[in-house]
């Protein structure tokens, strides 16, 4: 819709409420509901939003190591810019108008805003003549719980939506068809079109693939998908989790990224070359080489929490090494070369717990790094089981190890800028510190009596 059409739709909306959200460093949506008059004023002057959204973690605990904001700044307002191009109506909430916002015009917050970071990386690709087309796919688990019931259980032994290993099961999806259909239909109405959705392996686990689009739209859809799924689930007294690994009994939850670069008219997929090995163009080879080269130094962008690294287990459908292959789901990067239009790279490292703005920015920026530096593919494609390959470089196995690797390298600052990189690293160091001082169930069971 053109801007004037959006403004007209808001003006004549039956609701006087307008909802807008920003995304914090962890990918959590933080929002406000405002009046039409406040919305109109915000378009002219931007909207004040307490900059604590970049000064606290996902549980609202304020960082003690942040330079961009903290008690030392008094937590002033930052000016959020509402993006009219993100206009939607919330179909499960009385068609209330909805917008995404970011801090691209904020002097002190633009450098650490995830959506602004992706916009900047996207602009680099466009300047080079590449049109990045991306899509996210997610796996997540569903439980017959509410936030209160799960808290009452102390977050242990949640009741799964369905029992048993029923991957791609028409039985399990039909068993909860009202919820299943609502996911598909309501998300489509929310302009988050689902290309496919099915059950996965595990108790109550689903997987959905979002239709591909321009990279910024793809990331917008991805963050709205996660929140949309949770809100729709609430309506059915179901609780959805995108935690990377909630149980050792089941595979973890991936948030894989599919990507390709096209020419400006979007007529030609620049990753495809019918005469080349594996039909991979030299551009794709450089792009893939860039991702492989940068991966060990930007892993926290894909795996941002302590729990993220529990997912990287051999034989679990999650990657454990710096590797690639053609149609190989045991590698970190999977080339899919079925047809010219569908030629793409799947980055399988990200978990469902990661911030989509950051995962997509990391994919594109590291791929462009390979193109700019004309990196060669020195790593041979894996044929067969990558988990049996003892020559591949292993990925960092903990958040502290991955964060230390990111901190020791100049690559992240080159890809994402100094302001973002420094702030992001501090937030990951904070995340690890929160875990280090916690007493876990494992420790209680192991040491409480016997020691």
* Domain membership flag for residue 189: yes
CA distance 322 to 393: 5
- For residues 130 and 254, state if they share a domain: yes
**Does 22 map to a domain?**
yes
Phi–psi pair at 336, nearest 5 degrees = -115, 115
Q: Confirm whether 115 is domain-assigned.
A: no
Q: In sequence order, what are the beta bridge partners of 90?
A: 96
Q: What is the C-alpha separation between 237 and 184, in angstroms, rounded?
A: 17
- Does 20 fall in a domain? yes
From 59, 78, 108, give the residue that closes a domain.
108
What is the pLDDT, as a whole number, of residue 210?
A: 98
- At 264 the pLDDT is 87
Same domain assignment for residues 61 and 151: no
What pLDDT was estimated at residue 386? 95
In a domain, 88, yes or no: yes
The neighbouring-strand residues paired with 345 are 259, 335
Spatial distance between the Cα atoms of 40 and 21, rounded to a whole number of angstroms = 16
pLDDT, residue 306, reads 97
Predicted local confidence at residue 316, as pLDDT: 86
The CATH number linked to 303 is 3.30.590.10
The parent domain of residue 248 ranges over 125-446
Rounded to whole angstroms, the Cα distance separating 247 from 252 reads 8
Are 85 and 195 part of one and the same domain? Answer: no
**What whole-number distance in Å separates Cα of residue 90 and Cα of residue 24?**
21
Number of domains the chain is built from: 2
Torsional sign, CA 300, 302, 307, 313 = negative
Judge if 302 and 359 occupy the same domain.
yes
Q: Are residues 383 and 321 in the same domain?
A: yes
Domain end, chosen from 108, 138, 173, is at 108
My answer on whether 97 and 143 are in the same domain is no
Q: Which of 122, 295, 150, 75 is nearest to 219 (CA)?
A: 122
Which segments of 247-326 does DSSP mark as H helices, in order?
282-302
- Residues 6 or more apart from 265 whose CB is under 8 A from it? none
Same structural domain, 89 and 139: no
Cβ-contact 349, 332 below 8 angstroms:
yes
> What tokens does 358 get?
């950051």
129 and 26 in a common domain: no
Q: How far apart are CA 88 and CA 20, in angstroms?
A: 10
What does the alpha-carbon distance between residue 370 and residue 449 come to, in Å, rounded to a whole number?
54
Residue 79 belongs to a domain with what CATH number? 3.10.20.70
* C-alpha span between 213 and 374 (Å, rounded): 26
Q: Are residues 175 and 270 in the same domain?
A: yes
Question: In the prediction, which pLDDT does 78 show?
Answer: 95
CA angle (364 as vertex; 362, 370 as ends), nearest 5:
100
Averaged over successive runs of 10 residues, the pLDDT of the chain (451 residues) comes to 94 94 97 95 93 96 96 96 97 97 93 98 98 98 96 94 90 91 97 96 95 98 98 97 95 97 94 96 98 98 97 92 97 96 97 98 98 94 95 96 98 98 98 96 90 92
- Verify that 277 and 398 share a domain, yes or no: yes
Residues 72 and 28 grouped into a single domain: yes
Residue 173: predicted pLDDT? 87
Q: Is 369 in contact with 293 (CB distance < 8 Å)?
A: yes
Residues 103, 175: one domain?
Answer: no
Give the residue from 80, 108, 136 where a domain finishes: 108
Whether residue 357 contacts residue 410, with contact meaning beta carbons closer than 8 Å, is answered with: no
Report the C-alpha gap between 260 and 283 in whole angstroms: 10
């Amino acid at each position: 819709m053109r801007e004037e059409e959006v403004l007209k739709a808001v003006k004549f909306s039956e609701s006087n409420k307008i909802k807008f959200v920003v995304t914090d460093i962890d990918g959590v949506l933080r929002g406000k509901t405002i009046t039409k008059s406040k919305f109109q004023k915000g378009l002219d002057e931007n909207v004040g939003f307490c900059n604590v959204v970049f000064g606290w973690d996902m549980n609202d605990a304020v960082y003690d190591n942040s330079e961009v904001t903290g008690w030392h700044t008094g937590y002033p307002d930052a000016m959020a810019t509402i993006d009219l191009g993100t206009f939607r109506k919330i179909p499960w909430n009385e068609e209330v108008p909805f917008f995404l916002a970011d801090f691209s015009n904020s002097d002190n917050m633009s450098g650490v805003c995830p959506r602004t970071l992706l916009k900047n990386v996207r602009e680099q690709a466009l300047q080079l003549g590449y049109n990045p087309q991306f899509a996210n796919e997610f796996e997540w688990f569903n439980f017959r719980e509410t936030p209160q019931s799960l808290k009452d259980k102390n977050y242990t032994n949640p009741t799964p939506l369905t029992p048993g290993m029923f991957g791609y099961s028409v039985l399990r999806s039909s068993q909860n068809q009202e919820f299943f259909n609502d996911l598909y239909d309501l998300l489509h109405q929310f302009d988050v079109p689902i290309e496919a959705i099915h059950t996965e392996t595990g108790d109550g686990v689903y997987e959905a693939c979002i239709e591909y689009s321009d990279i910024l739209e793809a990331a917008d859809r991805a963050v709205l998908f996660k929140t949309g799924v949770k809100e729709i689930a609430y309506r059915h007294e179901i609780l959805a989790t995108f935690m990377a690994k909630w149980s050792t009994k089941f595979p973890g939850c991936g948030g894989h990224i599919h990507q390709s670069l096209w020419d400006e008219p979007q007529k030609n997929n620049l990753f495809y070359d019918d005469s080349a090995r594996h039909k991979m163009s030299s551009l794709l080879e450089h792009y893939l080489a860039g991702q492989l080269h940068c991966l060990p130094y930007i892993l926290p962008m894909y795996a941002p929490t302590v729990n993220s690294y529990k997912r990287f287990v051999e034989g679990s459908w999650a990657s454990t090494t710096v590797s690639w292959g053609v149609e190989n789901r045991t590698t970190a990067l999977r080339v899919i070369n079925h047809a010219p239009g569908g030629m793409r790279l799947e980055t399988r490292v990200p978990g469902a717990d990661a911030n989509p703005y950051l995962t997509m920015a990391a994919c594109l920026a590291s791929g462009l790094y390979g193109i700019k530096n004309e990196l060669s593919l020195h790593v041979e494609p894996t044929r067969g089981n990558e988990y049996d390959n003892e020559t591949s470089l292993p990925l960092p196995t903990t958040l502290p190890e991955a964060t230390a690797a990111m901190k020791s390298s100049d690559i992240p600052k080159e890809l994402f800028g100094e302001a973002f990189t420094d702030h992001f690293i501090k937030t990951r160091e904070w995340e690890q510190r929160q875990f280090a001082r916690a007493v876990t169930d494992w420790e209680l069971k192991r040491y409480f009596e016997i020691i």
